[in-house]
Every structure is written in C-alpha cells, then in structure tokens.
Amino acid sequence: GNSVTQMEGPVTLSEEAFLTINCTYTATGYPSLFWYVQYPGEGLQLLLKATKADDKGSNKGFEATYRKETTSFHLEKGSVQVSDSAVYFCALHTYSGGYQKVTFGIGTKLQVIP
Amino acid sequence: NAGVTQTPKFRVLKTGQSMTLLCAQDMNHEYMYWYRQDPGMGLRLIHYSVGEGTTAKGEVPDGYNVSRLKKQNFLLGLESAAPSQTSVYFCASSYSGDGYTFGSGTRLTVV
C-alpha cells in the first residue's frame, strides 16, 4: 500500500534559520505530492503541490521538488519566521476505485524561536 | 467565500449520547471526507463521499455513520458516543485532482 514517512519532531529552529523537513513515500502508479500546514487551533491548509516528477512546488517562501528517483518531496525554506511555527504534513494523492485517495504523513511540528 | 464550515466547534458529550457533526462547503466539490486527528496518530479517514447520495467507509468507520443528502453537506453521526471517540474531527472537500480544503475542526470530548 501507499505510505508517507516524515519525522514527528518537534523541529526547533531560530528565526532566519534554514528549514528542511524530510518526506519520503512509497506508492504505486504516479502520485501527486502535497504539503499541508496546520497552525494551532486550525484545520490543515494546502501549502504547495507537485503533480509529476521533477516538478517544484512553491508558496510563501517554501519549496519542494518531486524526486521520483529518491521517492522524496522534502520541504525547504531559506529563512524561517516565528509565524511559520506550525505542523507540516506531507501527503500523497492517488486515484483508486474512481476517487482521490490521500495518504498523510504523521506531521512534523516546527517551532521557531525569536 | 466561506470554503468548508464545520459546526459545532466544540462539544462535550456523555458516554452513550448521540450527536451529529455538520460539514458544509460552498465550492461545488464532488468529494467530501471526514477525518479524526489524534496525538501521535496523524489523520485517519473515517468515511468519505464521491458525490451526492454516496458514502463509503474509510480506515476507522466503526461507531460512526454519515449521510450526503445534498452535494454541499456531509453529516457525521455518532449514535452512542464512547470515550475512545474523543478527538478533533476535520471535514474536507476536494475537486478531482486538486488538494483538499479543510474545515477548522470540531473538538469533541466524551466523558
């Protein structure tokens, strides 16, 4: 079956530090890959996506590249801010039985300190 | 544009009581989903719907029922609440090929 692996954290960084959150996956077929962000007390929000190999998704200074050869979709940001403190979920979207099936990672908590 | 709206936001139930969680979306999405989120377990799919009048079981459907009588609404019912159903419940909707739009969640405590 499909699976997504990411560290649970927490990852603690100082403001303006470089961020990498690793995400690897196993899947059959050709999945689309997504990152979602969940701020405290809120639902998940779509952050960025990539639909095929070598695509780069980007939004709000975050980037991730769909690497088929390493089955990875690592999230990066060059300079984090306190407001980036949240839980980040890597997700794999596939189609099965006529509907869109999503497999979420466990979520990585990011804490950015001033 | 409201997106996905969940009601109520908070609820405390006694064991054995019943309740219905309402999810409404105004984006004309075909697909709708109910998840529960528990510490250390991530998001788990309870039930989903691929269109008006259709429902299907997800990973953890036991103890829950759902209905999708109208395209914009997806109801999650607990017939006899148990403490193990204490969780945060999220509704989501999507259009084919796009990412999910989530509601802000319902925090349910069963005592």
A-chain CB neighbours of B88 within 8 Å are none
Does the pLDDT at position B12 exceed 80? yes
pLDDT value at position B2? 74
pLDDT value at position A5? 96
Interchain pair A46, B105: CB under 8 A: no
Q: Which of A3, A87, A99 to mutate to test the interface with B (most CBs of B within 10 A)?
A: A99
User: What DSSP letter does each residue of chain A carry, written as one string?
Assistant: --EEE-----EEEETT--EEE--EEE-SS--EEEEEEE-TTS-EEEEEEE-STT-EEEETTEEEE-BTTTTB--EEESS--GGG-EEEEEEEEEEETTEEEEEE---EEEEEE-
A-chain CB neighbours of B41 within 8 Å are 106
pLDDT value at position A94? 86
Interchain pair A46, B97: CB under 8 A: no
Does the pLDDT at position A7 exceed 90? no
pLDDT 10s digits, A42-78: 999 999 999 999 999 999 999 999 999 999 999 999 9
Establish if A12 touches chain B: CB-CB under 8 angstroms: no
Does the pLDDT at position B26 exceed 90? yes
Establish if B105 touches chain A: CB-CB under 8 angstroms: yes
pLDDT value at position B1? 62
